[in-house]
């Protein structure tokens, strides 16, 4: 291994104990201190923490990029609907976690919450490795009874879904704690920009590992990556909890504010838009692969062939998602926000049209077109929603909480919808929800500041 492995992302050598002590314990200096400058040791230390954590999340999310292949792989092993059930359980328990974990972790150190969440990632990957191992050796103890496989996967999925909000909430607060009030946005942008690379890296890794080692090797390697990241989290530098967190509002008061905002006319107009975004999340993970399978007109593709194609589609989709997030933010700034919302509704409509014809014509190129539209649509929609919350709802915590609840909840119903064997029924439901979204956005009032554009 090179000497670079002994340095943190900021370039400060950790071989010197004094440097490591400063990196671990310096928590009071703000990011990009205006007096000391961007090249000051304090700034480098804080930026090092941000880059270190962003790199950890990059690897962790790369390891779990297999979720989009879950339904396809498990179905090939003979565990019908298990993959989709796992995704449904994860999504449902994630919603429950969002509602309750903030009170549970209120007094926790950020690193403790991050480690708990990382453990949830590891166990779901271990369950996947155990399941795919049965495809190679049915004589393994846990492969003897399907109940063991179903029970283990569902239990671990519930735990993973519940702990996921913990790791993200603590990570956001960790990064925020590394920056001054004026630089929190820049710190968060650096963190998100770094770990978002998993959208591309995950596609590359999944394609290479599935091609070389099959589905079992894929899960085993991914679980190994997640274990390495958990160790990295354990040795990550500490960031002290913000004092103002001790004065946070009780959960009941926050819930009342959220409900009051939901019933307001402006937020009501956005709910169908969020619902459709959640449905497309589910379609990408639990329905898209059916279009791939349907394109095998002569039935000559092996399961590994199908997995390689799906992994390639995920890679293309990841690249498109990354680009669309950037473009969507620019569009939301240049256009009226209602117009930007409509733009991505149109993209979603195109995706649905491509999905219909890819199924009826059994066309793989049209599956790619569907994946591109869904990738652009979902990440573009999420970006525009974030801009809307920031501008039209003054960036309130309650407004940001609503899509974090509605979209995963809609995805839960979407996974249930994917279990229906009639593909046309699924598409009809999508058409209905999208039509409602078009209608509701037409009545959306962004406010006078938006009309000036």
Which CATH number do you get for residue 29? 1.20.1250.20
Question: Among 192, 225, 248, which residue terminates a domain?
Answer: 248
**Which of 46, 91, 319, 94 shows the shortest CA–CA distance to 191?**
46
Residue 15, pLDDT above cutoff 80: no
Q: What is the mean pLDDT of residues 149-172?
A: 90
**Which of 431, 89, 84, 66 shows the shortest CA–CA distance to 286?**
84
Asked if 253 and 183 sit in the same domain, the reply is no
Residue 127: burial class (beta carbons within 10 Å; 0-12, 13-18, 19+): buried
For residues 275 and 411, the answer to whether their CB atoms sit within 8 Å is: no
Q: Which two tokens stand for residue 166?
A: 């913990």
Domain that holds residue 351: 249-453
What integer pLDDT is reported at residue 404 of this predicted model?
A: 81
Asked if 63 and 152 sit in the same domain, the reply is yes
Asked if 134 and 19 sit in the same domain, the reply is yes
Least confident residue range of 5-9, 48-52, 55-59, 286-290? 5-9
Least confident residue range of 120-124, 125-129, 171-175, 382-386? 382-386
For residues 68 and 285, the answer to whether their CB atoms sit within 8 Å is: yes
Angle (deg, nearest 10), helices 397-418 and 423-442: 160
Asked if 229 and 265 sit in the same domain, the reply is no
Q: Which residue has the higher pLDDT, 155 or 5?
A: 155
What integer pLDDT is reported at residue 107 of this predicted model?
A: 77
- Collapsing DSSP to helix, strand or coil, 7 comes out as strand
What integer pLDDT is reported at residue 310 of this predicted model?
A: 86
* pLDDT tier for residue 410 given thresholds of 50, 70 and 90: very high
Highest mean pLDDT out of 201-205, 239-243, 420-424: 420-424
Question: Among 219, 248, 277, which residue terminates a domain?
Answer: 248
Residues 331-342 have pLDDT tens digits of 766 777 788 888
Question: Within the chain, what is the greatest distance between any pair of CA atoms?
Answer: 69
Asked if 117 and 191 sit in the same domain, the reply is yes
* pLDDT tier for residue 451 given thresholds of 50, 70 and 90: very low
* pLDDT tier for residue 42 given thresholds of 50, 70 and 90: low
CA 20 to chain centre: 32
Q: What is the mean pLDDT of residues 154-166?
A: 92
**From CA 131, how far away is CA 151, in angstroms rounded?**
11
| Burial profile 414-451: b = 16 or more Cβ within 10 angstroms, e = fewer | bbbbbeeeebeebbeebeebbeebbebbeebebeeebe
Asked if 185 and 268 sit in the same domain, the reply is no
**Which of 181, 197, 362, 382 shows the shortest CA–CA distance to 276?**
382
Asked if 232 and 267 sit in the same domain, the reply is no
Vertex 434: Cα angle to 432 and 437 (nearest 5): 115
Residue 49, pLDDT above cutoff 80: yes
Residue 452, pLDDT above cutoff 80: no
What integer pLDDT is reported at residue 430 of this predicted model?
A: 94
CA 232 to chain centre: 20
What integer pLDDT is reported at residue 24 of this predicted model?
A: 32
- Collapsing DSSP to helix, strand or coil, 348 comes out as helix
**From CA 374, how far away is CA 291, in angstroms rounded?**
13
Residue 366, pLDDT above cutoff 90: yes
Residue 426, pLDDT above cutoff 70: yes
Asked if 445 and 433 sit in the same domain, the reply is yes
**From CA 172, how far away is CA 299, in angstroms rounded?**
47
What integer pLDDT is reported at residue 449 of this predicted model?
A: 47
Least confident residue range of 5-14, 33-42, 422-431? 5-14
Locus of tokens 């690897």 = 59
* pLDDT tier for residue 243 given thresholds of 50, 70 and 90: low
Asked if 260 and 228 sit in the same domain, the reply is no
**From CA 57, how far away is CA 450, in angstroms rounded?**
35
What integer pLDDT is reported at residue 2 of this predicted model?
A: 35
Per the prediction, the chain carries an average pLDDT of 79
* pLDDT tier for residue 250 given thresholds of 50, 70 and 90: low
Q: What is the mean pLDDT of residues 74-91?
A: 87
Highest mean pLDDT out of 93-97, 266-270, 431-435: 431-435
Domain count, the chain: 2
DSSP secondary-structure letter at 8?
-
What integer pLDDT is reported at residue 105 of this predicted model?
A: 77
Residue 196, pLDDT above cutoff 90: no
Q: Which residue has the higher pLDDT, 6 or 380?
A: 380
End-to-end CA distance of the chain: give it in Å, rounded.
Answer: 55
Residue 16, pLDDT above cutoff 80: no
Asked if 216 and 258 sit in the same domain, the reply is no
Asked if 268 and 203 sit in the same domain, the reply is no
Asked if 48 and 152 sit in the same domain, the reply is yes
């Amino acid at each position: 291994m090179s000497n670079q492995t002994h340095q943190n992302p900021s370039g400060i050598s950790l071989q010197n104990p004094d440097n490591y002590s400063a990196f671990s314990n310096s928590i009071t200096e703000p990011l990009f201190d205006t007096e000391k400058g961007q090249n000051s040791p304090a700034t480098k230390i804080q930026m090092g923490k941000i880059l270190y954590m962003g790199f950890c999340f990059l690897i962790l999310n790369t390891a779990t990029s297999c979720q989009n292949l879950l339904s396809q792989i498990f179905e090939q092993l003979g565990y019908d609907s298990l993959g989709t059930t796992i995704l449904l359980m994860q999504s449902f328990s994630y919603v429950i976690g969002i509602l309750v974990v903030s009170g549970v972790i209120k007094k926790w150190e950020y690193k403790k919450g991050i480690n708990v969440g990382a453990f949830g990632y590891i166990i779901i990957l271990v369950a996947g490795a155990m399941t795919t191992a049965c495809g190679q050796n049915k004589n393994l103890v846990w492969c003897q009874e399907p109940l063991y496989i179903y029970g283990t996967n569902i239990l671990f999925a519930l735990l993973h879904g519940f702990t996921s909000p913990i790791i993200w909430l603590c990570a956001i607060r960790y990064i925020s704690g590394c920056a001054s009030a004026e630089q929190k946005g820049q710190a968060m942008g650096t963190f998100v920009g770094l770990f978002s690379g998993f959208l591309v890296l995950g596609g590359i890794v999944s394609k290479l590992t599935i091609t070389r080692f099959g589905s079992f090797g894929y899960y085993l390697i991914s679980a190994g990556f997640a274990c390495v990241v958990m160790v990295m989290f354990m040795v990550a530098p500490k960031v002290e909890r913000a004092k103002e967190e001790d004065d946070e509002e009780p959960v009941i008061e926050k819930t009342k504010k959220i409900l009051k905002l939901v019933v307001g006319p402006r937020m009501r107009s956005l709910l169908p838009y969020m619902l459709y975004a959640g449905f497309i999340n589910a379609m990408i993970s639990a329905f898209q692969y059916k279009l791939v399978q349907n394109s095998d007109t002569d039935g000559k593709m092996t399961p590994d062939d199908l997995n390689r194609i799906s992994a390639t589609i995920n890679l293309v989709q990841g690249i498109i998602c990354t680009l669309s997030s950037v473009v969507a933010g620019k569009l939301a700034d240049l256009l009226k926000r209602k117009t930007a919302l409509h733009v991505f509704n149109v993209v979603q409509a195109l995706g649905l049209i491509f999905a219909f014809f890819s199924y009826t014509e059994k066309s793989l190129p049209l599956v790619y077109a569907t994946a591109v539209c869904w990738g652009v649509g979902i990440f573009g929609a999420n970006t525009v929603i974030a801009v809307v919350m920031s501008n039209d709802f003054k960036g309130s915590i309650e407004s940001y909480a609503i899509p974090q609840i509605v979209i995963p909840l809609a995805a839960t119903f979407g996974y249930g919808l994917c279990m229906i064997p009639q593909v046309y029924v699924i598409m009809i439901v999508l058409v209905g929800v999208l039509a409602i979204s078009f209608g509701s956005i037409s009545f959306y009032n962004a406010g006078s500041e938006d009309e000036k554009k």
